[in-house]
Structure 1
Amino acid sequence: MDKTPFLFHYHFWTPYLEETEEFYRQQGFEVTQRIGKLDGTFQSFNPPLTWDDFRHQNILFRIIECQKGKVNVTLGYGKKVVFDHLGFYVSEDEKVGICQRAEMFKWKVESNDRRTFISTPYQFRIELQTHEDAIYDMESDFHLLRVGLSSNKEDMITKLKELLGVDALPIDMTVKEKMRLESVEFCGTSLGKTDPNGLFLK
């Protein structure tokens, strides 16, 4: 895991925020951040606050972050479950090359000091992260091995390999009409559980 790019992150929108947070907490993840809008203002509701402290307030959560080892899982409120993006940790040089290739593909690139997002034609985005402090525990052996995606775009894997400049991707694709994140697999553990959003943790 000393090489980049490596997959470290996935994000989705869900109406099942409290249930999903509790599910990941039971798998050994630590809730490190909760940001939501209350009375028109974004505020922090981070631990040690618990859901009992704010459950009955009308908070629109933008992000809840759960971390363990080299894995970062984030979620925000949505009326239905929607997969948003995968995150890859890359070097600065790799980021430049990836963004150049994205622009050649005419894919939208949005970048700031903390992260870069690339909009793919596959109904999800790719996040590029270069800051080591975005990884919860860089020394940990716990990391994402693979994810399973469904898509009706059969060129997806080939094009993403070209984008990232790699010969292999930690992504398995099943051809289906609807795009969704179907499964994730972590190193060194076998969970065999499904989270509240229908995502299977192998």
Structure 2
Amino acid sequence: MKKVILPLALLAGIVGTAHAQTGIKFGVKGGYNLATFSGTDSHGIEYKSGFSAGLYSNFGVADNFSVQPEVLFSQKGASIDNFEGLPTTRFKTTLSYIDVPVLLRYNTGKTEGKGFFLELGPQASFLVRNRDFTQTGNTSTQSTDNTNSADMNKTVLAYVGGIGYQITSGLSLGFRYTGDFTQVYKQGVSANYAGQAYAGGNGQNPSVHNSVFQFQVGYAFGGK
């Protein structure tokens, strides 16, 4: 619960300082994540599907510029085919985070609230759950809820960049990329089941980062 309350408090604090600004808006958004791992030990790792959903606010700070803080639940992780050398076995890990990006947004349209936009900024992510899944053959499956995250970084720093289109009615479509600066797993400690899987079974955590493409739909309320 604390991991959810803290990001919401951060968003409330940021929004609270913006009431003097004109055109403040609040919104909801959700979308599709295409996630994988990047980094030194990412060879053989493939993409997996997930989703994101949450709240955001947007307030103007200058002509064509606005700041947009968000709080999103986001599924990340990765997939491996031919796991442990077996051609019929696939391994997946789903990592659930609370993402808190704070984005500087440049609106290219001359009409208020309409047109293409670019966004860029930092992001803090808080790990709330990790789940491992192994599939063998076409019908035989085995699922393991891996709640031992002692060897994983609970707080992750990242960068976000994206592009999208805002419709006057409040509807927006966006595409963004999120890349982590912080590694998924802690270094210098013994790996858990997922860590061993990606490290090739050598007992050490792999050097990997979350790498996520996000397709999002949002709707904003209020503002001019």
The answer to whether TM tops 0.5 is no
Range class of TM-score, shorter chain: under 0.3
TM-score (structure 1 length as normaliser): 0.27
Structure (1/2) with the larger strand percentage: 2
Structure (1/2) with the larger helix percentage: 1
TM-score (structure 2 length as normaliser): 0.25
